[in-house]
Amino acid sequence: MKARTIWRHIKESFKSIKRNGWMSLAAVSAVAVTLLLVGSFIAILLNVNKLASDVEEDVSVRVYIDLAAEEEDQEALQENLEEIEDVELVVYSSRDEELSQVIGSYGDEFGLFDGDDNPLHDVFILNTSAPEATAEVADQAEDLNYVADVNYGGATADRLFEVMETVRNVGAVIIVALIFTAVFLIANTIRITIFSRKTEIEIMKLVGATNWFIRWPFLIEGALIGFIGALIPVSIISYIYLSGFDTMMSYLSGTYFALLPPNPFLIQIVALLLAIGIGIGGFGSALSIRKFLKV
Amino acid sequence: MIEMTNVYKKYPNGITAINGLDVRIDQGDFVYVVGPSGAGKSTFIKMIYREEVPTKGTVKVGDFDLVNLKAKKVPYLRRFVGVVYQDFKLLPRLTVFENVAYAMQVVGKKPKQIQKRVLEVLELVGLKHKVRMFPNELSGGEQQRVAIARAIANMPRVLIADEPTGNLDPETAWGIMDVLEEINNQGTTIIMATHNSDIVNRVRHRVLAVENGRIARDQEEGLYEYEG
């Protein structure tokens, strides 16, 4: 295609959007509303997902060391623990540290147990590489020497993992369904816009325009409408997420929870929305005019 | 130039519009196509620019074999044959200038050439002062003239006009005839379907009378010979 013709098609599509005034506005709004819904839901769902994972990651296996263990026994135990598959990190916490945590959480009254009265054990805290491995790791740790007890929340933690799995699956299904809905709605809007121009397309054909000569401006016009329509939700979502992110993060500071950071998460959502808008807009209109071209 | 041999056209609803038609039209001819309504005039005309394809027989226009013409090639035929439609078929959202220019953009002409030629043909049809108007701001006669300007912008070898004076007052109709004569003098073949006996009888040209789906009369400098 000649550069002149490409330029002509681009100019033509801008002109057409302007002259179709209300119709273009209606299409842009429909795209904007749809993508705003999709974008917000995806942002919320993925963050819920992230929080769910944070909860799971927070589950660690506590290995209580037998009171009879000497220092070298403890070291040997630590090595053994580190060798278990799926163990990512082994942190030692002495009984004194444990007690001061209890005091910190439950009050100074527990200071009574300070020193030799401390009933607590020294502890190894294990972090697993995957939440699902927790139970298996706990089982293996229990068999080692000088292990008094192993605790990871047991049935409660297992239940939590199950719930989280469901949350994740449901979220994925909803996201896919939402994207399908968006694609369908946008394609349909574009189709209605073009339907009103059926005679126009037929006339173009009768004047001797080739199919692609007619198709290009419509394709560009559809992509432009999709693009403009996507810009609105993109800016709304970006604004809300960026300002909401800092507020939420200050609430969550000191916990294991964190929202997905805007970079790259927000950028990915923006890219997704723009891609849906432009892609479906352009393709949708190119496909919609197909049946009118048979003149 | 244009040659139809033993052409039949039967519509899906069972009506046979063209029933064994033979005709030959040479380059530079000016031909009136007359005949009662429903005699097959429109179908005959539509087969020249392939809005209709014959059920049987051959239609040749220039180098185009219309019966075997691939859909992809149809746009090129439509550039070779300019058509003026009874209902004008102007693009409603384009100005007068843009409507005529469209036909030239389709061919890939340079903007400068387009600018020059569009003004030239609009002057020929007497509408140079209305280039920025939209079709709905024009009278029927003016729209008809824009349609003619568009049809001749690419200097087609054949110009087909389906009732170009049908909806117009006599004075405007004569104006249109002047334009068509002018174009014919430049060597373009003109095929004009009409019910206007006044024009046919006063501006004498070859007359093709279509009746019952075939050519009933083919006469140089013929008369209209139908009532009203």
The predicted-structure confidence for A120-175, as pLDDT tens digits, reads as follows: 888 888 888 777 778 788 888 888 888 888 887 766 777 877 888 888 888 889 88
Which of these three, A152, A182, A217, is where a domain ends?
Answer: A152
A101 in the same domain as A33: no
A4 vs B: CB within 8 A: yes
For residue A133, what pLDDT is reported? 78
B51 vs A: CB within 8 A: yes
Q: For residue B162, what are the β-bridge partners?
A: B193
Residue A35: closest CA among A218, A223, A226, A176: A226
The tally of CA atoms less than 13 A away on the side-chain side of residue A198 is 7
Helix (H, G, I), strand (E, B) or coil at B21: strand
| Element containing residue A237 per DSSP (H, E) | helix A211-252
A133 in the same domain as A107: yes
A245 in the same domain as A186: yes
Helix (H, G, I), strand (E, B) or coil at B156: coil
8 Å CB contact of A207 and B103:
yes
**Which residue of A200, A203, A208 is in closest CB contact with B75?**
A208
Question: How would residue B66 be classed by pLDDT, with cut points 50, 70 and 90?
Answer: very high
A10 vs B: CB within 8 A: no
For residues A292 and A202, the answer to whether their CB atoms sit within 8 Å is yes
What residue has token string 């959202």? B93
8 Å CB contact of B102 and A207:
yes
**Per-residue pLDDT at B218 exceeds 90:** yes
| Element containing residue A104 per DSSP (H, E) | helix A95-106
A177 in the same domain as A66: no
Residue A175 in tokens: 């996201």
8 Å CB contact of B78 and A206:
yes
**Per-residue pLDDT at A239 exceeds 90:** yes
A18 vs B: CB within 8 A: no
Region of poorest pLDDT, from A174-183, B108-117, B121-130? A174-183
B226 vs A: CB within 8 A: no
- From chain B, pick out residues whose CB is under 8 angstroms from the CB of A293: none
Strands B206-211 and B30-34: parallel
**Per-residue pLDDT at A294 exceeds 90:** no
Question: Which residues 6+ apart lie within 8 Å of B11 measured at CB?
Answer: B17
What residue has token string 């369908």? A184
A86 in the same domain as A212: no
A171 in the same domain as A264: yes
8 Å CB contact of B75 and A210:
yes
A218 in the same domain as A125: no
**Which residue of B83, B93, B108 is in closest CB contact with A206?**
B83
Region of poorest pLDDT, from A3-12, A45-54, B139-148? A45-54
- CB atoms closer than 10 angstroms to residue B26: 11
For residue B28, what pLDDT is reported? 93
Taking CB atoms and an 8 Å cut-off, how many pairs form between chains A and B? 53
- Main-chain phi, psi angles of B211, to 5 degrees: -140, 135
Residue A78 belongs to domain with CATH number: 3.30.70.3040
A3 vs B: CB within 8 A: no
**Per-residue pLDDT at A83 exceeds 90:** no
Question: How would residue B69 be classed by pLDDT, with cut points 50, 70 and 90?
Answer: very high
Please compute the mean of the pLDDT values over residues A99-107 and round it to a whole number. Answer: 79
- From chain A, pick out residues whose CB is under 8 angstroms from the CB of B111: 4
Alpha-carbon distance of B178 to B161, in angstroms, equals: 14
What residue has token string 């001819």? B29
Please compute the mean of the pLDDT values over residues A24-40 and round it to a whole number. Answer: 90
A125 in the same domain as A34: no
CA distances from B23 to B42, B49, B172 (A): 15, 15, 31
Which residue on chain B is closest to A294 by alpha carbon? Answer: B71
Which of these three, A126, A152, A178, is where a domain ends?
Answer: A152
B12 vs A: CB within 8 A: no
The predicted-structure confidence for A256-290, as pLDDT tens digits, reads as follows: 777 888 888 899 999 999 999 999 889 888 888 88
Which residue on chain A is closest to B152 by alpha carbon? Answer: A207
Domain that holds residue A45: 3-56+160-293
Q: For residue A149, what are the β-bridge partners?
A: A64
Task: Tell which wins on pLDDT, A60 or A29.
Answer: A29
Alpha-carbon distance of A193 to A286, in angstroms, equals: 12
A226 in the same domain as A262: yes
**Per-residue pLDDT at B129 exceeds 80:** yes
Angle between helices B140-152 and B96-107 (to 10 degrees): 20
The predicted-structure confidence for B80-108, as pLDDT tens digits, reads as follows: 999 998 889 999 989 999 999 999 998 88
Q: Cis omega before residue B170 (within 30°)?
A: no
What residue has token string 């005019």? A289
Alpha-carbon distance of A47 to A282, in angstroms, equals: 31
**Per-residue pLDDT at A45 exceeds 90:** no
Angle at A18 between CA A13 and CA A20, to 5 degrees: 90
Q: Is B154 exposed, middle or buried (0-12, 13-18, 19+ CB in 10 A)?
A: buried
For residue A154, what pLDDT is reported? 67
**Per-residue pLDDT at A182 exceeds 90:** no
For A231-234, the CB contacts below 8 A with 24+ separation are A232/A28, A232/A32, A232/A35, A232/A36, A233/A32, A233/A35, A233/A36, A233/A38, A233/A39, A233/A40, A233/A273, A234/A35, A234/A39, A234/A270, A234/A273, A234/A274
Question: How would residue B201 be classed by pLDDT, with cut points 50, 70 and 90?
Answer: very high
Average pLDDT of chain B, as a whole number: 91
Q: What percent of chain B has pLDDT over 90?
A: 70
- Main-chain phi, psi angles of A92, to 5 degrees: -95, 140
For residue A199, what pLDDT is reported? 87
Residue B215: closest CA among B34, B55, B10: B34
Question: At A44, which amino acid appears?
Answer: I
**Which residue of A5, A208, A295 is in closest CB contact with B103?**
A208
A52 in the same domain as A68: no
For B10-14, the CB contacts below 8 A with 24+ separation are B10/B55
The predicted-structure confidence for A206-237, as pLDDT tens digits, reads as follows: 888 999 999 999 999 999 999 999 999 999 99
Please compute the mean of the pLDDT values over residues A182-190 and round it to a whole number. Answer: 83
**Which residue of A4, A208, A295 is in closest CB contact with B79?**
A208
Pick the CATH number of B2-90+156-219 from 3.40.718.10, 3.40.50.300, 3.90.1570.30, 3.30.930.10: 3.40.50.300
**Which residue of A207, A210, A295 is in closest CB contact with B150?**
A207
For residue A93, what pLDDT is reported? 85
Q: For residue B31, what are the β-bridge partners?
A: B191, B206
For residue A290, what pLDDT is reported? 85
Q: How far off is chain A from B142, nearest CA to CA, in Å?
A: 18
A96 in the same domain as A142: yes
Helix (H, G, I), strand (E, B) or coil at A39: helix
Domain residue spans of chain B: 2-90+156-219
B187 vs A: CB within 8 A: no
The predicted-structure confidence for B9-63, as pLDDT tens digits, reads as follows: 999 999 999 999 999 999 999 999 999 988 889 899 999 999 899 999 999 999 9
B73 vs A: CB within 8 A: no
Interface list for A 20-49 with B (CB within 8 A)? 20
**Which residue of A2, A20, A209 is in closest CB contact with B75?**
A209
Interface list for B 125-164 with A (CB within 8 A)? 150, 154
- From chain B, pick out residues whose CB is under 8 angstroms from the CB of A19: 93
8 Å CB contact of A2 and B108:
yes
Query: What is the SS3 string spanning A168-236?
Result: HHHHHHHHHHHHHHHHHHHHHHHHHHHHCCHHHHHHHHHCCCCHHHHHHHHHHHHHHHHHHHHHHHHHH
For residue B228, what pLDDT is reported? 54
Question: Which residues 6+ apart lie within 8 Å of A80 measured at CB?
Answer: A144, A145
A180 in the same domain as A138: no
Average pLDDT of chain A, as a whole number: 85
The tally of CA atoms less than 13 A away on the side-chain side of residue B228 is 1
For residue B53, what pLDDT is reported? 92
Please compute the mean of the pLDDT values over residues A104-110 and round it to a whole number. Answer: 77
8 Å CB contact of B103 and A20:
no
Which of these three, A102, A127, A152, is where a domain ends?
Answer: A152
Q: How far off is chain A from B150, nearest CA to CA, in Å?
A: 8
Helix (H, G, I), strand (E, B) or coil at B3: strand
Domain count, chain A: 2
Burial of B76-101, coded b for 16+ CB within 10 Å and e otherwise, reads ebbbbbbbbbbebbbbebbbbbbbbb
8 Å CB contact of B79 and A213:
no
